[in-house]
Amino acid sequence: MQQTAAASVLLGQGYQGAVYRVETDDGPVIVKKVIGRGLLRSLRRAMLRREHAVYQRLAGVNGVPGCRGLLGGEELVLDYVPGPSLREADRPLADRGRFFDELLAIIQAVHAAGVAHGDLKRKDNILVGPGGHPVLIDFGTAVAMPPGAGAWRRWLFRQVARIDLNAWVKLKYQRQDMPMDPGDLQYYRPSWLERTARLVRRTWRKLTLRSHRRDRRR
């Protein structure tokens, strides 16, 4: 990858490091780069290696950016896909039904490759790519199930895969004044992890609300 004289553009920073758009002789690419020092840097380097392994498993899956390699163990290079995230899209989807049908097909293909994304509730992780087609990005928290995986890994993979499908249903019908398609009900089955998280959130809200009411009465 030969970088041109054009400056890199910082797109953002997250728990793994910094994300840049970099101009090369072959066109723009996305580079996820480790930052920080000491133990934190070592942890981020390990996370980036893990994400690189996930992208290798997903090579050739439609709707997932291609991976060009891991440079020096600290720079993950991905194909650049133009288009806003689902959160940033400033207008309604041209064909919402088609978009979510294609998104479901991508999610299922990712699962078939032995990877569950785990963070599809964040609209930033879904791009509205060229032609209005969906693209999945950011597999930093993904769970992979390699051949011969043990019982714990298989269970975790199933749970996270269910979280992916539940997120798809929620996004499809979010703020939409329409009944749920009966065929989509099969994809909405809250996982044990989600049920536990929901219980914790509800309990926390009740406790904080009671505390707020007591403070107001004083």
Domain range list for the chain:
9-79, 96-214
At 177, is the secondary structure helix, strand, or coil?
coil
Ramachandran category for residue 122: left, alpha or beta (phi over 0 → left; psi -120 to 50 → alpha) = beta
- Nearest by Cα to 99 from 58, 138, 127, 64: 127
Instruction: Please tell me the CATH superfamily of domain 9-79, with its number.
Output: Phosphorylase Kinase; domain 1 (3.30.200.20)
Using alpha carbons only, what angle is made at residue 4 by residues 52 and 69, rounded to the nearest 5 degrees? 15
90 is catalytic: no
Tens-level pLDDT at each residue, the chain (218 residues): 555 445 689 998 887 889 999 999 889 999 999 988 899 899 999 999 999 999 999 999 999 999 999 999 999 999 999 999 999 986 788 899 999 999 999 999 999 999 999 999 999 999 999 999 999 999 999 999 988 999 999 999 999 999 999 999 999 998 888 888 889 889 988 766 666 666 666 667 666 655 545 555 55
Any idea which architecture 96-214 has in CATH?
Orthogonal Bundle (1.10)
d(CA 31, CA 87): 21
**Cβ atoms within 10 A of the Cβ of 8, count?**
15
Task: Note whether 44 and 35 are within 8 A (CB).
Answer: yes
Identify the active-site residue in 26, 101, 119, 164: 119
Task: Note whether 65 and 114 are within 8 A (CB).
Answer: no
Bridge partners of 20? 10, 31
